[in-house]
Structure 1
Amino acid sequence: MKGLFDFTEVATYFFRKKDPNRKTTFNLRTMHRINKVSMVMFLMGLIYLVFKWMTR
């Protein structure tokens, strides 16, 4: 049950250092950019819903 709610991987996704040994391609950079945008949009929507529920 402890590993089920472990959000450290998501929290550290934005603050990782780039691996100098790994070759980056346009596709990989684009995939990571889309992932970051989608996570930010999800968190903003979640914050909006919580705020909406709290003000009722």
Structure 2
Amino acid sequence: MGVLRQLAEYFYIKKRDPNAPHTKWMQYMHGINRISLFMFLVGLIIIILKLFVFRKH
């Protein structure tokens, strides 16, 4: 369940743990993770669209 919680925190769906350490480097790491997850989801959507919607007959 830890992975789903972390994803929810990255996308601001769930509040972060107030006891977690807050350093500048952690903020950078979480920002990069947000960008990479967003790009992955966009790529996944594009692949699904190409496979099922824009299929050539």
* Structure 1 or 2: more helix by fraction: 1
Aligned match of 2:39 = 41
Q: Which structure 2 segments of 5+ residues have no match?
A: none
Give the structure, 1 or 2, with the largest relative contact order (CA under 8 Å, sep 6 or more): 1
RMSD over equivalenced CA pairs, Å: 2.2
Q: TM-score, normalised by structure 2?
A: 0.70
Q: CA deviation at 1:39?
A: 0.4
Give the letter for the 1:26 counterpart.
K
What CA distance in whole angstroms lies between the structure 2 residues aligned with 1:11 and 1:34? Answer: 13
How many equivalent pairs are there? 50
Q: TM-score, normalised by structure 1?
A: 0.71
